[in-house]
Structure 1
Amino acid sequence: MLRSAGTIYREWGLRYLIAIGTEHFLIRTLADARSPSYWRRTESFHDRILDTDVSHYEHPKNPFALRYVDPAEIYQFSGRGSALWENAMYEIGTVQDGDWDIEPYQGPLEDKELEITFANALEETVLYRSMEEHFTNGVAWEDTQFVQRMCELIKESDTRAWHGSMTCEDVRERCAYLDSLYERIQTDGFLSQRELQQRGEEPPKDYLDTLRSEILVDIGRDGEFLMVDGRHRLSIAKILGVESIPVVVVVRHAQWMEKINSDPDAFASHPDLSAERDTPTRY
């Protein structure tokens, strides 16, 4: 049976940490954590030591590498589960069969926040429509359906909601952060987490933590990209018309793996395979 990165972590436990810790320490002493050398070494290191599902196929090479994708090609949410992002760090390189790629996203029916932030497609969410109203048409955050409904939810449930918000003021502060994020992307372009760390705009993180902070996607049976996490940044990229963004692929459908390995030349231009030869070195 093929094993995911998370399975390896759980099975090996302390033995895993000791076994790889020495090598990883040596890697980090050879180069600064924000240097290209560090990232090249750690990509190779994790791909080799974790024995992911993808590593049992010839293609794609290095499931931990960034893929550069047109934001317009990411619009549907992955149907794998209600909290796709929770274990994403340890599921990178996983291959799964089933109908999760063609089923609509199913969140817990009792979770009212998901009704505001999720739908079958990103552009159908209250969140995206409100962001588009604000950034494109200049509608004040307080007048958007998203903020109004989120504040109602907080008052009704008396619990933490969007990114830990406990009050409407917390929601407004988070919206202010989206304003600054929009301005940064508009001015500097859409940068990877590695680039942001190198510029000092994000604190240095461990390799897997950094990957977890990127936009996360799954790949369905026909090579379609399915949203896992990072919907705020993806929404901004779409609204600004950004042509290419870095993403990390978490789960790939088994049928997709069969297709690209039986005839890789037919899919050579797909970002999952083109990354093998021409992923931009942008860090």
Structure 2
Amino acid sequence: MKKILIVGTAPNKMLDKYLEKIKKQLVKTKHRIYLLLTKKYENGLVDDYLNIESDSIKETLKLTNNVFDDVIVCLANSSLAYYKNVFFFLKNNNINKINIYFKDEIYEKNLDTIINFISDENIVYLNPDEIKFGVKGFKPIMCGENLDGDWDLDKFKFEDEIVFYNSFKEHFYEDVEWEKTEYLSRNLKQILEDKKNKWGCKNKEEFLERCRHLDELFLEMKKNGWVQNENSDFLTINIDRNGHILFNDGRHRLTFAKLLKINKIPAKILVRHKKWADFKKEIEKYAFEHKGKIYTEIDHIDLKNIEYVHDGRYEVIKSHISDDSKSVLDIGSHWGYFCSRLEKDLNKECVAVEVSEKHFYFLEKLKTAMNCNFNAVNENIFSFIDKNYKFDVIIALNIFHHFLKTGHLFNKFLKLLNKIESREMFFQSHKFHENQMKNSFFNLKPQEFAEFIVKNSKYNNFQEIGDFNGRKLFHIYK
């Protein structure tokens, strides 16, 4: 006999409907229904009641019988944060998979997926202006899904298509009364003519009161910034097949943040396109194969939690690079981190040269994901520099020591240094006693290496500007 636990978190009338649907689905199956709830409720379709002597289901409660074939949670609304205690209660009772009933939909979910979504660890921070496009919103119950198909192609421009954004902009910045906005007229039509309940409003007066409340929220955000209450829903975003951010839900607060030009806001990723999720797994696999870390940080909100080896160099370079320098060549760019940051932060015109096809694959994918325009070149630096040798800035981090390993490479390196024309270089040396340099044709200590570059190039001066675990960073300039 199939034992089914139903967690009754919905109002009585809604629970009646849920039980009828569940019973119809089980008509050909021998079963016993156990109903867990904190209130007085009776229904002839229930076989056993597991009443909790508490005003709510607390996560610390223990079930005396927790061996069930199916667990069904009946929700009254789609806010997962609202039912946080219920989900933690089920997890603490060793339940891993549940079915969620909400309105006319049934969702089979892994409990860990829901808990990960509602936990603080899943919060990402981004600039509101990074959210340029949106898609038709998914319900929060879809959290953690990696969806294939073309759902991400049918997108709209947030600032063009969201009625509230344009209406509120007119209302607050052009003194247009709420009664004259499209936002009010469109919603009133749905309330009065289509008989829809909008945010609990049933007439014009109630909806105008809601609009006045939105005014108050805007002024509060203007004064205090974005404040995320513990049990309120987050702004949700989706990630498309290319790694681009798509608005999902939370248009009112996002509108306020955009208009107030707030720098960073919290959000949660609800749905990812399967192609992006697969690419993310490729990066995680790469990290696993390299002692759990990638080479350097990735400046993408969905990849920031992946551990990396090299840290801190970008901020040092950013603080020393000349404002007059516009063009940048990154030699051995790896996955293009420095080019993407310099383009985004300082509007530099960058070229990323990477000879490894494997690294170049990741570089191009990440360049697309971050909407970057820098030029990515899969080529040997020696052949590239023959055609392109004038740049304002050269970045060469942990790369030049490879050209000391054989006489052939060393001679090519000398020609490269002699040919380069730039006003400044950021060079990071290797450590003199590294095993990889044991049988090298030539070897230099960090200070000697910087002097060697100046002597064999058109630069005149150098300055040590950082030390990263013995690998020193130099600013070399004319």
TM-score by length of 1: 0.61
Deviation (angstroms), 1:271 = 1.1
CA contact (8 A) 2:236 2:247 kept: yes
* Aligned pair partner of 1:268 in 279, 285, 298: 298
Distance in 2 of aligned mates of 1:274 and 1:260: 11
- Kindly name which structure, 1 or 2, has the bigger radius of gyration based on alpha carbons: 2
| Residue in structure 2 matched with residue 237 of structure 1 by the alignment | 257
Give CA deviations for 1:175-219 in whole Å, capped at 9, x if unaligned.
11111110111111112222xxxxxxxxxx4xxxx4xx1111111
Matched position secondary structure for 1:263: helix
Q: Which has the higher contact order (CA 8 A, sep 6+)?
A: 1
Amino acid at match of 2:143: I
* Aligned pair partner of 1:78 in 121, 135, 139: 135
* 1:251-266 equivalent positions in 2, closer than 5 A: 251-263=271-283, 265=294
| Residue in structure 2 matched with residue 96 of structure 1 by the alignment | 147
* Aligned pair partner of 1:139 in 176, 187, 211: 176
* 1:174-193 equivalent positions in 2, closer than 5 A: 174-193=210-229
Deviation (angstroms), 1:134 = 1.2
Give CA deviations for 1:40-92 in whole Å, capped at 9, x if unaligned.
xx7xx79x975878x89xxxxx555111121112232224xxx623xx1x322
Deviation (angstroms), 1:162 = 2.9
CA contact (8 A) 2:191 2:198 kept: no
Deviation (angstroms), 1:154 = 3.0
Deviation (angstroms), 1:135 = 1.9
| Residue in structure 1 matched with residue 163 of structure 2 by the alignment | 126
Unpaired runs of 5+ residues, structure 1, are 1-9, 27-37, 57-61, 105-119, 195-204, 278-283
Amino acid at match of 2:226: F
CA contact (8 A) 1:66 1:275 kept: no
Amino acid at match of 2:304: S
CA contact (8 A) 1:136 1:239 kept: no
| Residue in structure 2 matched with residue 24 of structure 1 by the alignment | 59
Amino acid at match of 2:59: H
Distance in 2 of aligned mates of 1:164 and 1:148: 17
Structure 1 runs of 4+ aligned residues shifted over 6 Å read 13-18
Length, aligned pairs only? 207
| Residue in structure 2 matched with residue 172 of structure 1 by the alignment | 208
Deviation (angstroms), 1:268 = 1.7
Distance in 2 of aligned mates of 1:16 and 1:274: 40
Question: Matched residues, percent identical?
Answer: 30
Amino acid at match of 1:253: H
Distance in 2 of aligned mates of 1:92 and 1:14: 27
Q: Judging changes above 3 Å, is the alpha-carbon distance between structure 1 residues 248 and 92 closer, same or farther for their aligned structure 2 residues? A: same
Matched position secondary structure for 2:154: coil
Q: Judging changes above 3 Å, is the alpha-carbon distance between structure 1 residues 184 and 14 closer, same or farther for their aligned structure 2 residues? A: farther
Report the RMSD for the aligned CA atoms in angstroms: 3.8
* 1:197-212 equivalent positions in 2, closer than 5 A: 205=231, 210=232
Amino acid at match of 2:134: F
Structure with greater proportional helix content: 1
Deviation (angstroms), 1:14 = 7.1
Instruction: Give the stretch that moved more between structures: 262-271 or 126-135.
Output: 262-271
Deviation (angstroms), 1:153 = 3.8
CA contact (8 A) 2:126 2:301 kept: yes
| Residue in structure 2 matched with residue 201 of structure 1 by the alignment | none
TM-score by length of 2: 0.38
Amino acid at match of 1:221: R
Q: Judging changes above 3 Å, is the alpha-carbon distance between structure 1 residues 23 and 141 closer, same or farther for their aligned structure 2 residues? A: closer
Matched position secondary structure for 1:226: strand
| Residue in structure 2 matched with residue 6 of structure 1 by the alignment | none
Structure with greater proportional strand content: 2
Amino acid at match of 1:97: D
Deviation (angstroms), 1:261 = 2.6
Distance in 2 of aligned mates of 1:15 and 1:252: 34
Distance in 1 of aligned mates of 2:256 and 2:242: 26
Deviation (angstroms), 1:161 = 4.2
Distance in 2 of aligned mates of 1:274 and 1:218: 16
Distance in 1 of aligned mates of 2:123 and 2:171: 30
